[in-house]
Structure 1
Amino acid sequence: MLDWEHIFATRSSRMKASEIRELLKLLEQPDIISFAGGIPDPALFPAQEFQAAYAEIFSSSQVNAALQYSVSEGYKPLRDWIVADVAKIGIECSADNVFITSGSQQALDYLGKLFLSPNDTALVTWPTYLGALSAFNAYEPNYDQLSLNGNRTPEGYRDTAAKAGGQVKFAYLSADFSNPTGETIGQEGREKLLALADEMDIAILEDAAYQHLRFNGQAISPILALDIARKGGIENTRTIYSGSFSKTLAPGLRVGFVIAAMPVIRKLVLMKQAADLHSSTINQIAIEHVASRGFDAQVAKIKKVYSGRRDAMLAALEKYMPKNTSWTKPEGGMFVWVTLPEGMDGAELLAKSLATERVAFVPGKAFYADGSNANSLRISFSCANDQMIDEGIKRLGRLISNSVAGDNETLPII
């Protein structure tokens, strides 16, 4: 067999299988209670609305354009709809500032390609979205921990990046109900990030995949909106906002978007032309049909269901988890982050859980750029009903309690 390794580019060594993608295969096993996949509940997809949208496209003269090559920027009516939607949250822009991608994951890949040269540094939260690390890894960066509590200085970031052989290029974060922790960055933290980015002259990549999924609490302006307010217009901003219809309408259509100043958009368009020419035209048209006729109602429907499941999960955690375990209490999104007793390994716990309790989750260290903090895990409530949540957390709490007891039994008595 041919030895391919010496032919592959060096960057290929940094490409790893997604732990989450692998765990999703467990959903096919009926006896598994899965809190692993951060995916929307398919029962909540607006299937009838999409059926009507595609039927309308195929029964009109629009079908020719829908099946034809199209512009790389994206379907103009969809970009116009996005402009109107984000204006409600303070992002004032034009359709020229909106670029359609094949899901927000493609946006992360393009942005990594645009900014990162080998050995450059990306500032990321600790933990951060695993998919972002996977996208950036191909461009051979280093990572440093993004801190908004004042214990890191611009000079410190620069020195660390220089010692690693490059420059700091951007700070990446999900500010609202982040994947994996479910936590939200407050306005003070967002303002500090803007000040840091201005001082360091770097970009901010704002991942807003869960922007619409706030269940309670006071809404906070997106970082891009704050940047626009500071700078007097989007063309003067350094924040690049990426969004998606995957969590609100349907992920299978693979429609996401980027909002940014025109110099960034122009570069992304060139990348699109070189990569896949344009995102699926017919899917963009269908998304625009459904969004323009019922987006707010769809969001209200899923928020009602997901908020109930969030409440059920928090109640179950309170009921069944041992006292030396802690967890986040998100105001929206799809995730809860659990911190296990010190010394416990989430990956080892998962192996035990699948073998004995038949409960799946994602070990936490996968979300750390340095593979640290093994005593953590991510659980998602989006695809589990109240009964599954109660039973699954009960089993998981029992397993953690038994593991702690087992560890204690091996300790010498002093």
Structure 2
Amino acid sequence: MTLAPLFAGRASRMRASEIRELLKLLDQPDIISFAGGIPDPAMFPHEAFRQAYADVLSGPGADAALQYQVSEGYLPLRRWLAAEMGRLGVPCDEGNIFITSGSQQALDYLGKLFVSPADTVLVTWPTYLGALQAFNAYEPHYERLTPAGGNMTPEAYRAAAAKAGGRAKFAYLVPDFANPTGETLSRAEREDVLDLAAGLDAAVIEDAAYQALRYDGEPVPSILALDCARSGGIEAARTIYCGSFSKILAPGLRVGWVCAARTVIEKLVLAKQASDLHSPSINQIVIHRVAETNYASQVAKARLHYGARRDRMLEALDATMPAEVAWSRPEGGMFVWMTLPPEIDTTELLARAVAEARVAFVPGHAFFADGSGRNALRLSFTLADDRAVGEGIPRLARLIAAG
């Protein structure tokens, strides 16, 4: 017997993550992987976490750490995050903060909250694969968001959304060192996104997973900060900010957050109550302890460490890649985006790269809502030490040059 015929129609939109599958290659010791966009474990504050867990479990708060938690999240952590958002130009308090099991859960909840079947979601071309996976289950129609300039007016987007059978609900984007391209939106481009959203009376979801990882260039205010300044405060803002501790402290604890108007937070709390009640109490308490004492220093260490790895990868690409290959030069984050000649399909190239060169990357089409981008690929430099870059990039270059 199979239960597949009983699956809801939306199940057909659920796709396996190519990145999750590629991470399995890390178990093969001879594979040089530029695939997974994951932090370097050497950067985790191991001792701080060991001490925090020991202190929590041996102290008077041990019972609370092992007990149920309020769905909004651990109050001291929410207050710390509210202060951190204030330093980013977003005046708010703990009532505007909601703790999630990683920012990925926030994307799922936001899809559930906003998207009805046939509603339109605006995303960049390409965009973060995990966002497409999160939104797909809610059966949206996708339209291309072009912050750097395009000919789609609010009226054109509105007409396209009506033709698809719904309305435009939100624009989703990663404005800082985007996954997968590494690109960063200028202040003017962020303001243009807010103008477009206002014209559509739609929300903006700002995925800020990489915001702290700037290696050079001038910081740009967050979209939420710009929104608060123009709207008069967070309660009138249309932007929803999704943050994460995964890239700075550690991803395994699965602690992320949302900063938004209370009307949004209240609905997200209801979604969490129906899903998993709350994020793990002990992880929230430990993250709070470690963030209070280590967050700033961890950011500084990560910038030096990953910035040097970015530089090494860009040097290797400059030295070895064929002239017809182009790539981004990110000011921060974790990724370099490569565009190959149009006749090269990077899904086919990946199979050859693994088999012949023992090198892995993520094919570009996974990041496009329409499956295009087949001649592009994403490289991650966070796990790429000097040996990996020195051996892996020339191998990949030779494979590309061979056609």
TM-score range, shorter chain: over 0.9
- 1:17 maps to 16
Q: Distance in 2 between matches of 1:162 and 1:230?
A: 29
Moved over 3 A (4+): none
Deviates more, 1:142-151 or 1:73-82: 142-151
Structure 1 unaligned runs (5+)?
404-414
- Specify the SS of the correspondent of 2:296: helix
Q: Distance in 2 between matches of 1:48 and 1:176?
A: 30
- 1:339 maps to 339
What amino acid is the match of 2:264?
Answer: V
How far 1:13 sits from its partner (Å)? 0.5
User: Residues 193-223 of structure 1: CA distance to partner in whole angstroms, max 9, x if unpaired?
Assistant: 1111111100000000001100000000000
Q: Distance in 1 between matches of 2:269 and 2:135?
A: 19
1:117 has 2:116 as partner: yes
- 1:135 maps to 134
- Specify the SS of the correspondent of 1:253: coil
1:186 has 2:195 as partner: no
Q: Distance in 2 between matches of 1:9 and 1:200?
A: 31
User: Residues 367-409 of structure 1: CA distance to partner in whole angstroms, max 9, x if unpaired?
Assistant: 0000001000000000110121121110000000011xxxxxx
1:4-43 alignment runs, 5 A limit? 4-43=3-42
Q: Distance in 1 between matches of 2:219 and 2:90?
A: 14
How far 1:91 sits from its partner (Å)? 1.2
Q: Distance in 1 between matches of 2:91 and 2:306?
A: 29
Q: Distance in 2 between matches of 1:178 and 1:342?
A: 23
Query: What is the number of residues matched between the two proteins?
Result: 402
TM-score normalized with structure 2 length: 0.99
Q: Distance in 2 between matches of 1:55 and 1:4?
A: 45
Deviates more, 1:143-152 or 1:251-260: 143-152
What amino acid is the match of 1:292?
Answer: E
Structure 2 unaligned runs (5+)?
none
Q: Distance in 1 between matches of 2:146 and 2:402?
A: 35
- 2:383 maps to 383
How far 1:84 sits from its partner (Å)? 1.3
1:254 has 2:260 as partner: no
How far 1:162 sits from its partner (Å)? 1.1
What amino acid is the match of 2:353?
Answer: S
What amino acid is the match of 2:4?
Answer: E
Q: Distance in 1 between matches of 2:370 and 2:398?
A: 30
Q: Distance in 2 between matches of 1:366 and 1:283?
A: 32
What amino acid is the match of 2:298?
Answer: Q
Q: Distance in 2 between matches of 1:345 and 1:401?
A: 13
- 1:412 maps to none
Q: Distance in 2 between matches of 1:89 and 1:65?
A: 31
What amino acid is the match of 1:381?
Answer: F
Q: Distance in 2 between matches of 1:248 and 1:311?
A: 19
- Specify the SS of the correspondent of 2:4: coil
Q: Distance in 2 between matches of 1:70 and 1:388?
A: 43
8 Å contact from structure 2 (residues 120, 166) kept in 1: yes
- 2:233 maps to 233
1:130-279 alignment runs, 5 A limit? 130-148=129-147, 149-279=149-279
Q: Distance in 1 between matches of 2:250 and 2:139?
A: 32
1:55-94 alignment runs, 5 A limit? 55-94=54-93
- 1:304 maps to 304
User: Residues 210-245 of structure 1: CA distance to partner in whole angstroms, max 9, x if unpaired?
Assistant: 011000000000000000000111000000000000
Root-mean-square deviation (Å): 0.6
How far 1:5 sits from its partner (Å)? 2.3
What amino acid is the match of 1:140?
Answer: E
8 Å contact from structure 2 (residues 83, 93) kept in 1: no
- 1:373 maps to 373
Q: Distance in 2 between matches of 1:126 and 1:240?
A: 20
1:350 has 2:350 as partner: yes
What amino acid is the match of 1:174?
Answer: V
Q: Distance in 1 between matches of 2:146 and 2:396?
A: 32
How far 1:160 sits from its partner (Å)? 1.0
1:107 has 2:106 as partner: yes
- Specify the SS of the correspondent of 1:297: helix
What amino acid is the match of 2:310?
Answer: R
How far 1:150 sits from its partner (Å)? 3.8
- 1:359 maps to 359
- 1:325 maps to 325
What is the percent sequence identity of the aligned residues? 62
How far 1:85 sits from its partner (Å)? 1.2
Q: Distance in 2 between matches of 1:154 and 1:343?
A: 35
What amino acid is the match of 1:103?
Answer: G
How far 1:3 sits from its partner (Å)? 2.8
Q: Distance in 1 between matches of 2:399 and 2:3?
A: 43
How far 1:98 sits from its partner (Å)? 0.1
- Specify the SS of the correspondent of 1:122: strand
- Specify the SS of the correspondent of 2:68: coil
